[in-house]
Amino acid sequence: MPISTAPYKRTYKHTSQRGKEARIRCDKCGRLVPRWKTFSAYRGFRIRDPVILKQMDKRMIHTLGNKMRVCPKCARFYHVVKRGKSVRKKHMLK
């Protein structure tokens, strides 16, 4: 793996300009961040036991997982994305 590649790529695929885009609260720390800077993470749990799935109402299953938006600082801290290049380079030299 080459060291020079970025751990993630921020692409911008929206129709309006960045200055016009809304700001979103980070779901971890509450910080106001532009929407294009945020990373999406999923919160919730998955039920894999078939006995419980048969007993549960099918309409309630979709409420168990939520999509949350995380600022870049929290995304690195909570391991939503990989750390930056200098930190990875430091670990590779050991």
| Residue 90, in any domain of the structure | no
Q: Are the C-beta atoms of 83 and 7 separated by less than 8 Å?
A: yes
| Residue 52, in any domain of the structure | yes
Give the span between the Cα atoms of 7 and 83, in whole angstroms: 7
| Residue 10, in any domain of the structure | no
Give the span between the Cα atoms of 88 and 54, in whole angstroms: 45
pLDDT of residue 18: 62
| Residue 75, in any domain of the structure | yes
For position 48, which CATH number holds? 3.30.1740.20
| Residue 6, in any domain of the structure | no
Question: Which of 15-19, 56-60, 68-72 has maximum average pLDDT?
Answer: 68-72
| Residue 69, in any domain of the structure | yes
Q: Is the Cα dihedral 66, 82, 9, 75 positive or negative?
A: positive
| Residue 41, in any domain of the structure | yes
| Residue 74, in any domain of the structure | yes
Q: Which domain does 60 fall in, by range?
A: 20-81
pLDDT of residue 1: 45
What confidence tens digit (pLDDT) does each residue in 20-45 have?
778 999 999 999 998 888 998 888 77
Query: What's the domain count of the chain?
Result: 1
